[in-house]
Each structure stands twice: as structure tokens, then as C-alpha cells.
Chains A and B, each alone.
Chain A
Amino acid sequence: MKKLSARRRHPLAAVVVLLLALVGTGGAYAFLAPAGKAQADETSQSLTIEEGQKLYSVGCASCHGTKGQGSSDGPSLVGVGAAAVDFQVGTGRMPAATSQGPQVVKKKNIYTQAQIDQLAAYIASLGAGPEVPTSEQYGADGADIAKGGELFRTNCAQCHNFVGAGGALTKGKFAPNLEGVAPKHIYEAMQTGPQNMPSFPDTTLTEKNKKDIIAYIDAVNSPNTENPGGLDLGGLGPVSEGLFAWIFGLGALIAVAVWVAARTAKAKKS
């Protein structure tokens, strides 16, 4: 499989694939039967890329150029890899609206996972880049949550806050809240560095490191996270605590004080 995926990115791969496709469609079934699985994969792969290209020309080409070379409206996609596509389209960030604010935000994804895979295959065929991670890579099995926490505080908390509640960047940009973000997408974001987020490639933040971080985020910022003390007030720290103390704390005490000091109802004058 490794060999195959390496070949698939060869410049002539597309030609080979096309040829094989022609042979495949024109040739006898007998030819296919002994050819084995590899060729069948190759064929379906080429079909996938083709489908991806169609989707690409409809949804992406206007900004990123007809062959992913980029334009003034969007960066080149050559070499960004399948992981970047899976993240950007999977979280609904791409295709972006024509008029953008300071940054492209996540929205409802309009593609099926199969279509995203086709798009990813097409973009991957333009130039080598990070692949979509497997569930073994981002799954919680064998993760060290405590180590993940330490890594999270070193690499992520400065922008995403200590439990991943998000935070401000310059000029209206922001690091989003990580609650409810799929582990796969977190993994892809670390690997590819979408928009202004820096990337954390495997060479500096290993696969195991990423797994640990994802497990930590799940432990501290998911709907099942335990907040032993009660309402977590958004996990935003002293600002929300201060507001709460003023509005509900002092507010309640003043309400009580009004009751304590108020005149008791008088009997009706007769």
C-alpha cells in the first residue's frame, strides 16, 4: 500500500491511471480477475480522483484556480495534502463565503464524507502532503492524558485557553472553542495548521503527542467533562467569575437586604 500511495503522487500517475481506466473499461472481465486487488484499487482510486476533480471545479476552482495553483482569492493547494482538505471541508470552513470577515469560520458542512474523500484524493494527487489520520492515530486507546495536558499547556493553551474554550487573536481573529470538534479534525488541524494556526508536524509533535493532546481535550472539554465545583461559567476564568459574583452573588444579597429592610405590610386602614 505504501508503494502504491507513493506511485500515486508521481507526475505521470494521472496518465497511467487514465490508461488503466481505459483498459479497464474496454477490456475483458477475464483480464480483471487475475489482476488482483491492487489494480482494482488503482481503478477505483482514479475514479475517486476524477470525481474529486469534478467537485473541485464546481466548489473550489473559482478561488484556488483550475488546477489548485491558487489565485488572489485563495492559496495554492498543491502539497497541502488530504488532511487539510478533510479538515477544511469537513468542518464546513471550505468552501468559504465570498466575503469573509477576519477569518473563515466553521459552518455546516455541505458535502458527504465520500465526496470529501474524493476531493481529498484529488488535492493529494496534485502534490504530496499529510494524509487523513486513521482512528488508531487519534483514538483514545493508549493515550496519556496527563502528558497530553502538559503538551496542551505548552503548545495550545496560549491561544485556545486552558480547557480549550478559545481566545482572541489580533484584528478580530480568534482561536475557536474546541468543544465538540471531532478528534480527527483536531488531529488534522495540528498537522496542517489551518489559516493562522501554526502547524505542529510529526517531526516536532509526534503522533503519540497528538493522541495525548486529543485525549486531554476530551477529558477537560467535552459534554461529559466533570466540573466538580458546579457550573463552569464557560471555563473562561476570573472574568466570568467576577461577573457572576456581581450579578448573582451581590445581586442576590441585595435582594435579600431589600427584603430584610422593607416595611412589613400594614393592616388595611378601617
Chain B
Amino acid sequence: MSSQDIPEENLPAEQGHAHGAVDVADERDPFTDPGLPPHEHRIQDIDERAAKRSERVVALLFTISMLATVGFIASYVTIPHDKSIFVFPLGHISALNFALGMTLGTALFCIGAGAVHWARTLMSDVEVADERHAISAEPEVKAKVLADFKQGAKESAIGRRKLIRNTMFGALTLVPLSGVVLLRDLGPLPGTSLRHTAWSKGKLLVNMNTNEPLRPSDVAVGSLTFAKPEGVEEDQEDFQNVMAKAALMIIRLQPDNIKDKRELEWSHEGIVAYSKICTHVGCPISLYEQQTHHVLCPCHQSTFDLSDGARVIFGPAGHALPQLRIGVSEEGYLQALGDFEEPVGPAFWERG
């Protein structure tokens, strides 16, 4: 589409040039541009005392700035970095941060205020008009450039020697591939690692708070407990990666409150263990409401019903939280009866 389809008169007409100061209004067109209004003097332009006042204000501002910088250095040297002061209405704050920030702010602001006040009151405020020039080149210039280009292209014979042209494009296309290939070692391939967690048959459920394995009697109805697999410690190298998938949330329901058959089967005396990692984008979901048995994600508000197989009842999550099948070990501790049967956390293409 080009402008050719549009009649010339629809396009904006070239607007008139500035007139300079035209005092007599055009009788024929009351809307014509009267031109720049005549310059009016400021007080400082005609009254030397006012100008002097401005000068003093500017100098004062610059002086305050200097003093503030001295204050900055003095604060840096004298105020201990851990000193706390009470400043209304800010509260108990760091004395050093406040002193440094305020002196620095004052020093900078006063330089700016001085410069602007100087410009506004003492420098000329006569408005000047500058002509604009069309950005597009004149036709002769354009013709010259095109001719030069053709000349160059002809001399290189790029149009004629197709073999050179094609192989050159080929080479230029391929060479960035080296860079792409080099990115391969940014990380390992996913493989099946997103499908497994640190849980396996017989691993005890260890209380995050006490670092002790949990017994069924520890978990009261209406309580909320978080657990990790036995053998996982905070100071281990891979602790973060393990917990990003294995974090577990344990609650206890009255068995007859459990609506989902599989949930009941996988529970132990009403104790159910669900993945703490939201199936939406992986936040540690754990806003458990013990009366409604709903659990809410603080990041994007996906809501799951823990009494009904943790199905999604609100929000952007696409599927239920995975449940961990649990039982009791010979010593009477809660233990996992296997890994999660489905991948935990956010869904991905290969999840299926």
C-alpha cells in the first residue's frame, strides 16, 4: 500500500513558515499563525537588584552543596556503620545510611537547583526559532548514491559470478553455528531427571523442624508439617536441587473426610503426604486452611483440595498435586512406599 491511493488533498498541507512578529491579523483568515509573540522581560532583565538577588540565591545553593559534601565526608568518617537512630516518621533506621543519603542528596540537588535557577532567571530567555530541513535527500543525491552503488556492485561482479555469491552466503550462514554449538555444554540434557525425586521405598519422612523422623502419633488432625527424605541434610552440596523436587507437606484428616479413594489408600490413618511444589510453576505451595482442607499457592493463587486428591479448585495450575504413598516402618516411623508416581512441580512438554 502506498500513498498513491490517497488523493493529494487529503494529506496535510505544508504549513506556513514562521512569520516573525506580525502585528496585523490577517483579515481574510483569522486562524493564521500570528508568529512568535514579542519577548517580554523578566524582573531580572530590567531590575539589577532582582538579578543580584538571583545571583545570591544561585551562589547560596552552590555553597550549600559544598557544605553538604563536607557533611557527607564527615558522616562517613564519624558515624559507626551499625548505629541506629529513631527518625519520625521513618522509624528506627541506620544513622549512617540516613546521614550519607541526605547529605549526598542535598549536595546533588543544590547543584541542580542552582544551575536551573541560574538558567531560568539570569540567562537569556528569548525564544529562538531554528529551521528544520527535510530529512530525505535531494533527488540528485539519491541518484548519485544509487549510481555509486551500482558501480561498486558491478566492479565486484557479485551479480555475475553467482558461484562466489552463493558460496559466500553459505559460509556466512554456517559460521555462526559454531557459536550455537558451543552453548551445548551450558547444561546436561534433561533425560528423565524431571520425573524422579529423592523419595524411594523405605525412606523415612524427616521433620524439617526437628530433623527427626516422624511417627504417626506426632501428626495431629489439623496440623501442618513439612518433611524431607531421610539422609538429606542442609549442608549437602545438592540440598537445594533435592528439595526443589522432594519437599513434602504432611497433614492429617479424619479418614471419613477423605473423598478421593486413591488418596485414602495412599494415606496412613488419615495422614496424607503431598508434594509441596506447586504444579503451576513450582512455588512451595503451603497455605493450608485446616477447616476447608484447601491449600493455596502464595505466588499465583492456585487452590487445591487436599481432601479430594488435591485436585485444582481455583487458579492457573493445570493438574493436581502429586501424592506420596506412605506407610509405617517396623520401628513405627512414617516412611515412603516409593517415589511419586508422576513428575512433581511444573508441567513440561515431555510430561505426558
Direct A–B touching, Cβ under 8 Å:
yes
Query: Is there an interface contact between A170 and B303, defined as CB atoms closer than 8 Å?
Result: yes
Query: Is there an interface contact between A226 and B290, defined as CB atoms closer than 8 Å?
Result: no
Query: Is there an interface contact between A231 and B84, defined as CB atoms closer than 8 Å?
Result: no
Query: Is there an interface contact between A198 and B224, defined as CB atoms closer than 8 Å?
Result: yes
B293 to chain A, nearest CB (A): 10
Closest Cβ neighbor of A210 among chain B residues: B209
Task: Specify which of B84, B222, B223, B225 lies most central, judged by the most chain A CB atoms within 10 Å of its CB.
Answer: B223
Query: Is there an interface contact between A200 and B47, defined as CB atoms closer than 8 Å?
Result: no
- Encoded as 1 (CB less than 8 Å from any B CB) or 0, chain A from 92 to 104 comes to 0000000000000
Q: Does A199 contact B (CB under 8 A)?
A: yes
Query: Is there an interface contact between A225 and B92, defined as CB atoms closer than 8 Å?
Result: yes
Interface size class of B (residues with CB under 8 A): 35 or more
Query: Is there an interface contact between B314 and A193, defined as CB atoms closer than 8 Å?
Result: no
Binds A, one of B17-25, B152-160, B213-221: B213-221
Query: Is there an interface contact between A267 and B284, defined as CB atoms closer than 8 Å?
Result: no
Query: Is there an interface contact between A154 and B226, defined as CB atoms closer than 8 Å?
Result: yes
Query: Is there an interface contact between A199 and B93, defined as CB atoms closer than 8 Å?
Result: no
The A-contacting residues of B in range 220-247, CB under 8 angstroms, are 220, 222-226
A67 to chain B, nearest CB (A): 22
Q: CA separation between A218 and B120, bound complex, in Å?
A: 53
Contact of B121 among A175, A231, A264 (CB under 8 A): A264
Binds A, one of B38-46, B56-64, B71-79: B38-46
B263 to chain A, nearest CB (A): 18
CB within 8 Å for A228 and B290 given contacts A169-B296, A198-B222, A205-B209: no
CB within 8 Å for A206 and B97 given contacts A158-B298, A267-B45, A267-B47: no
CB within 8 Å for A206 and B209 given contacts A198-B290, A199-B222, A201-B220: yes
CB within 8 Å for A198 and B93 given contacts A204-B207, A259-B116, A264-B125: no
Residues of the A chain whose Cβ atoms lie less than 8 Å from the Cβ of B91? 225-227, 230-232
Q: Does B286 contact A (CB under 8 A)?
A: yes
Closest Cβ neighbor of A197 among chain B residues: B290
CB within 8 Å for A158 and B289 given contacts A203-B217, A231-B91, A264-B125: no
Query: Is there an interface contact between B296 and A170, defined as CB atoms closer than 8 Å?
Result: yes
Query: Is there an interface contact between A200 and B43, defined as CB atoms closer than 8 Å?
Result: no
Q: Does B251 contact A (CB under 8 A)?
A: yes
Contact of A193 among B97, B223, B284, B292 (CB under 8 A): B223
CB within 8 Å for A224 and B218 given contacts A199-B290, A206-B210, A267-B41: no
Contact of B223 among A199, A228, A260 (CB under 8 A): A199
CB within 8 Å for A224 and B92 given contacts A198-B288, A259-B116, A267-B43: yes
Residues of the A chain whose Cβ atoms lie less than 8 Å from the Cβ of B288? 198
A209 to chain B, nearest CB (A): 5
Q: CA separation between A260 and B225, bound complex, in Å?
A: 59
Q: Chain B interface secondary structure, helix, strand, loop or mixed? A: mixed
Query: Is there an interface contact between A229 and B94, defined as CB atoms closer than 8 Å?
Result: yes
CB within 8 Å for A230 and B97 given contacts A170-B314, A204-B214: yes
Contact of B219 among A158, A203, A262 (CB under 8 A): A203
Q: Does A107 contact B (CB under 8 A)?
A: no
Residues of the B chain whose Cβ atoms lie less than 8 Å from the Cβ of A155? 209, 224, 226
Q: CA separation between A131 and B218, bound complex, in Å?
A: 18
Q: Does B186 contact A (CB under 8 A)?
A: no
Q: CA separation between A193 and B93, bound complex, in Å?
A: 35
B44 to chain A, nearest CB (A): 8
B66 to chain A, nearest CB (A): 21
Q: Chain A interface secondary structure, helix, strand, loop or mixed? A: loop
The B-contacting residues of A in range 183-211, CB under 8 angstroms, are 193, 195-201, 203-206, 209
Q: CA separation between A82 and B92, bound complex, in Å?
A: 37
Q: Does A40 contact B (CB under 8 A)?
A: no
Task: Specify which of A167, A201, A264 lies most central, judged by the most chain B CB atoms within 10 Å of its CB.
Answer: A264
Contact of A266 among B42, B289, B298 (CB under 8 A): B42
Q: Does B208 contact A (CB under 8 A)?
A: yes
Q: CA separation between A197 and B287, bound complex, in Å?
A: 9
Residues of the B chain whose Cβ atoms lie less than 8 Å from the Cβ of A269? 40
Q: CA separation between A159 and B284, bound complex, in Å?
A: 12
Closest Cβ neighbor of A213 among chain B residues: B209
Residues of the B chain whose Cβ atoms lie less than 8 Å from the Cβ of A169? 287, 289, 296
A252 to chain B, nearest CB (A): 11
Query: Is there an interface contact between A265 and B42, defined as CB atoms closer than 8 Å?
Result: yes
Query: Is there an interface contact between A209 and B209, defined as CB atoms closer than 8 Å?
Result: yes
Q: Does B294 contact A (CB under 8 A)?
A: yes
Residues of the B chain whose Cβ atoms lie less than 8 Å from the Cβ of A196? 289-292
- Encoded as 1 (CB less than 8 Å from any B CB) or 0, chain A from 156 to 168 comes to 0011000000010
Task: Name 25 A/B residue pairs within 8 A (Cβ), A-sorted.
Answer: A154-B209, A154-B226, A155-B224, A158-B286, A158-B298, A167-B287, A169-B296, A170-B289, A170-B292, A193-B222, A197-B290, A200-B224, A203-B218, A204-B210, A204-B214, A205-B210, A224-B92, A226-B93, A227-B91, A229-B93, A230-B90, A230-B91, A260-B116, A266-B41, A267-B47
Q: Across the A-B interface, give the 5 residue pairs with the lowest CB-CB distance, nearest first.
A: A198-B224, A228-B94, A203-B218, A196-B289, A226-B92
The chain B residues found within 8 Å of chain A, CB to CB, are 40-47, 84, 89-94, 97-98, 116, 120-121, 125, 207-210, 214-215, 217-220, 222-226, 251, 284-292, 294, 296, 298, 303, 314
